[in-house]
């Protein structure tokens, strides 16, 4: 008998698993067991059935299927003469590395212990959060716009339907960007299970059936991501709090949501639930976006408070308890009670289970794997990318790092340059930054000056009837070279890349001021801000050159 393990995606319940199982068992000489919980099928055949027929039987029932690499499935294990790279994780950094490694002639074993592949971004991060944020914004705008002749309306929000649509898009994008790659690329083989180090060249994978398999690889890449950090507050662990994962999948809107945190996730989700009708109390340990230019946090705070969010700065939470369906927090601002509590106080690298000490891999105090600009750890054959490292926790950084790590693991020499790294907070208005703030520039010994343009001076913002925010440019005094940009604006995320390109190409303020920008656009605000270094833009005519 031959055993074949198959990943089955798209099942939503035990009934789905039974459908897939019945389809397999209808084939001659097949005995199959399908698990919804494990999202996989274990199939025993007499050898007369081809793997392609097994996959088609599952797909004909409306599910997706791909072979899993296993001892009993050597056909999926690739050419053993090729350089073998083991990648732990299956998110953006892992897949970018896998694709590039195969392109460079290697074979890849991808190890994943979670029920679904794709990592944080597509499943519980970027994709579902942006869908939620956009939907919430549309709901809010119906009752809060400035256009005459269009009646204001407070919509009846069906959160359950929103979540269903959101998760359908998550499933669709996961298949398009991850699962389909495994289905069509025989040199990338998926092994289900949790990995840990035996030594610097060997991983032990505990598979979903409880058995263990050792993998020896020429190179190992760690891309295990991160999980929400849970603060040590008395009583908190005994309560049914939310992290971002539960918040994104919640099918109800709490009457009063208390949010702990003051950075990206906290601010995005707090405002989104406010836009859906929840009352929000936001507890910040210091100030909003405390690592950024202070004007950004202060400007965004004013917007949030205007929308009704209760923002409490310099907050200390002393204890948490849950009783009678409510959370009760003892804080430095007094007792605060609410229906639900969301923790958004940062993320912790997923490295504890890897037993990094057995390979001698160094980490920082958070458990983040220390890497250099070639994505190398301190162990010669081991690399790491993404949120499990000391790199900035952005999906596009992880993907770029994955590609470069793969090049280096296959004999190349490629570094990652983070000196011009745009970042966006998807509130409304958005916060976007690139390069250095004025304070950061001065800390580096640069002599700089800055100009800030309020959006009331940007024609498109006036036409949009939304002048909340500003654009700030930072430049060296002597050379006029642009070194940084900070934006608070409704379309800041679309504007910031132009600033990034200006910095990357070492443009001077005058160069930017003389560029042609289409009118009316928000990005024209960059040109106008550059012009303020030498003139009063309030005295210019429309689209003045």
Find the catalytic residue in 126, 383, 409, 485.
126
State the Rg of the chain over Cα: 26
Find the catalytic residue in 11, 194, 274, 388.
11
Residue 256, beta-bridge partner list: 279
Examine the residue annotation and report whether 485 is marked as an active-site residue of this protein.
Answer: no
Q: What is the DSSP string of 457-507?
A: GSHHHHHHT----EEEEEEETTT-BEEEEEEEETTHHHHHHHHHHHHHTT-
Find the catalytic residue in 1, 194, 465, 543.
543
Find the catalytic residue in 40, 63, 140, 485.
63
Q: Give me the residue label for tokens 């031959």.
A: 2
Examine the residue annotation and report whether 388 is marked as an active-site residue of this protein.
Answer: no
Q: Is 89 left (phi over 0), alpha (psi -120 to 50) or beta?
A: left
Q: Is 316 exposed, middle or buried (CB count within 10 Å of its CB: 0-12, 13-18, 19+)? A: exposed
Examine the residue annotation and report whether 1 is marked as an active-site residue of this protein.
Answer: no
Tokens standing for residue 169: 């898009």
State the DSSP code for 353.
Answer: G
What does the angle CA 258 – CA 260 – CA 266 come to, to the nearest 5 degrees? 95
Contacts of 241 (CB under 8 A, 6+ apart): 320, 327, 341, 342, 343
Examine the residue annotation and report whether 274 is marked as an active-site residue of this protein.
Answer: no
Find the catalytic residue in 1, 40, 194, 542.
542
How many CA atoms lie within 13 Å of 142's alpha carbon, on the beta-carbon side? Answer: 13
Which among 382, 398, 402 is positioned nearest to 197, based on CA atoms?
382
Residue 98: its H or E element: helix 92-103
**Cβ count within 10 A of residue 35:** 17
β-pair type (382-384, 107-112): unpaired
Find the catalytic residue in 40, 121, 162, 507.
121
Q: Which residues are tagged catalytic? A: 11, 13, 16, 63, 121, 126, 542-543
């Amino acid at each position: 008998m031959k055993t074949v393990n198959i990943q089955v995606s798209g099942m939503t319940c035990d009934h789905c698993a039974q459908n897939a199982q019945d389809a397999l068992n209808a084939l001659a000489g097949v005995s199959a067991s399908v698990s919804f919980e494990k999202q996989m099928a274990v199939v025993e055949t007499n050898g007369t059935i081809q793997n392609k027929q097994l996959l088609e039987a599952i797909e004909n029932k409306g599910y997706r299927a791909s072979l899993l690499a296993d001892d009993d499935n050597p056909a999926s294990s690739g050419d053993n003469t090729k350089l073998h790279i083991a990648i732990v994780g299956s998110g953006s950094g892992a897949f970018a590395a896998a694709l590039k490694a195969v392109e460079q002639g290697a074979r890849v074993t991808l190890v994943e212990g979670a029920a679904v592949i794709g990592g944080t971004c597509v499943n519980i991060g970027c994709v579902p959060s942006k869908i939620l944020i956009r939907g919430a914004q549309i709901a809010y705008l119906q009752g809060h716009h400035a256009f005459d002749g269009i009646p204001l309306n407070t919509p009846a929000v069906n959160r359950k339907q929103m979540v269903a649509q959101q998760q359908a898009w998550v499933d669709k994008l996961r298949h398009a960007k991850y699962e389909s790659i495994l289905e069509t690329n025989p040199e990338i083989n998926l092994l289900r299970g949790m990995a840990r180090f035996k030594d610097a060249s060997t991983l032990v994978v505990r598979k979903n059936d409880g058995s263990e398999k050792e993998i020896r690889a020429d190179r190992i890449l760690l891309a295990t991501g991160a999980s929400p950090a849970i603060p040590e507050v008395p009583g908190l662990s005994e309560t049914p709090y939310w992290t971002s994962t539960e918040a994104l999948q919640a099918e109800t809107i709490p009457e009063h949501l208390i949010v702990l945190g003051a950075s990206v996730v906290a601010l995005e989700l707090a405002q989104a639930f406010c836009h859906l009708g929840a009352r929000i109390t936001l507890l910040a340990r210091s100030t909003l976006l405390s690592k950024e230019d202070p004007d950004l946090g202060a400007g965004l705070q004013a917007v949030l408070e205007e929308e009704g969010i209760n923002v409490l700065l310099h907050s200390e939470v002393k204890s948490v308890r849950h009783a009678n369906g409510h959370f009760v927090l003892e804080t430095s601002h007094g007792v605060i009670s609410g229906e639900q509590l969301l923790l958004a106080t940062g993320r912790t690298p997923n490295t504890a289970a890897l037993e990094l000490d057995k390979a001698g891999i160094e980490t920082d105090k958070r458990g983040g794997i220390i890497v250099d600009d070639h994505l190398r750890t301190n162990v010669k054959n081991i690399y790491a990318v993404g949120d499990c490292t000391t790199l900035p926790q952005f999906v596009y950084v992880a993907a770029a790092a994955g590609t470069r790590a793969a090049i280096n693991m296959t004999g190349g020499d490629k570094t990652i340059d983070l000196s011009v790294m745009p970042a966006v907070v998807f509130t409304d208005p958005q916060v976007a930054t690139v390069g250095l703030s004025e304070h950061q520039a001065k800390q580096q010994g640069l002599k700089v000056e800055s100009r800030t343009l309020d959006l009331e001076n940007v024609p498109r913002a006036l036409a949009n009837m939304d002048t909340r925010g500003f654009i700030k440019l930072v430049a060296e005094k002597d050379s006029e070279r642009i070194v940084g940009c900070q934006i608070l604006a409704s379309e800041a995320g679309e504007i910031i890349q132009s600033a990034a390109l200006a910095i990357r190409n070492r443009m001077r303020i005058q160069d930017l001021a003389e560029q042609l920008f289409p009118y009316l656009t928000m990005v024209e605000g960059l040109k106008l801000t550059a012009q303020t270094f030498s003139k009063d833009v309030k005295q210019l005519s429309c689209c003045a050159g």
